[in-house]
Amino acid sequence: MVRIEKLSKSFGNHIVFQNVNLELNSGKIYGVVGKNGAGKTTLFNCICGLEKYQGSITSSEGKIKDFTGYLPAEPYFFDKITGEEYLYFMCRTRGFKLHDVEDKNIFELPLKQYISTYSTGMKKKIALLGILLQKNDVLILDEPFNGVDIGSNMLIIQIFKELQRLGKTILVSSHIFATLSEICDEIFFLENGEIFQKKGFHEFLELENQLKNDISTSIDKIKKWL
C-alpha cells in the first residue's frame, strides 16, 4: 500500500495542488482525470520522487522507487539504443537478467531497430513493456493509451486486469473516460488543486455528466462566434 498524506506542490506562487490524501491499495486500479494543466503529471512525478513536494508519501514495503514502474506521457530514451537493448537495461536496473526477449515481445515491436526510429505509439509500447518486465508491484502510468493503436489499447486493458488479479497497484491517467470507467475501482478528479474521489458506477456517471456540462457551456460560447 502507498499512503499519501497532506501532499502539496507549488511552482512559485502557483499552487498545483494542496493537502492531497490518498491510499493506493494492492490489487486496485485507480484513475486520475482532470483538465490539461490540472497537475496530473506533477502528482505522478511527486509520487515517483521526481519532484520535490510538501507532505508525506510512504509505503510499508520500503522505498517506493524500488518497486514502482513509471510510464511518463512522453517516454525518454538514450540516443542510439535499440528496443532490445532498452529492455535488457530496464531489467538490469532491477538486478536480474532478461532471457528469451522475443518471447516477451507482446507488442511485436522491431526490437533490433533503434528506438529513435519508432513512432510515438511504438515508443509508448516499448516503455510500457520495459516496466512490465521489471515485475514492479506499483505501476504509475501517465496517458498509456495516448498515441497507441486500438488493438494495442485493447491488449493494454487486458494486461491491467491481469496485473490487478496478481495484486499489483495501478495508478493511471487518461482523457479516455470510458476506458477508465471500465477498468478502475476508483477515479480521482483533480480540479483547482484538490482531489475529489469517485467510487462505483453511479459516481463515475456523475463525474461524466459533470464533464459533459462543462463541455456544453463551452459549446454555447462557441456557437456565438462560429
What pLDDT does 203 receive? 72
- Eight-state DSSP code of residue 101: G
Give the span between the Cα atoms of 150 and 80, in whole angstroms.
Answer: 29
Give the contacts of 29 (CB within 8 A, at least 6 positions apart).
160, 164, 170, 172, 183, 184, 185
Helix and strand totals (H; E) in the chain:
6, 9
| Average confidence (pLDDT) per 10 residues, the chain, 226 residues | 95 94 96 90 96 94 93 94 98 94 96 97 98 97 95 95 97 89 90 78 70 73 71
- Domain assignments of the chain as residue spans, ordered by start: 2-200
What pLDDT does 178 receive? 82
Give the contacts of 24 (CB within 8 A, at least 6 positions apart).
1, 2, 3, 4, 30, 138, 169, 171
What pLDDT does 198 receive? 66
Distance of CA 221 to the CA centre of its chain: 33
- Tell whether domain 2-200 is in CATH 3.40.50.300: yes
Does the model's pTM come out above 0.85?
A: yes
Radius of gyration in angstroms for the set of CA atoms belonging to the chain, rounded to a whole number? 18
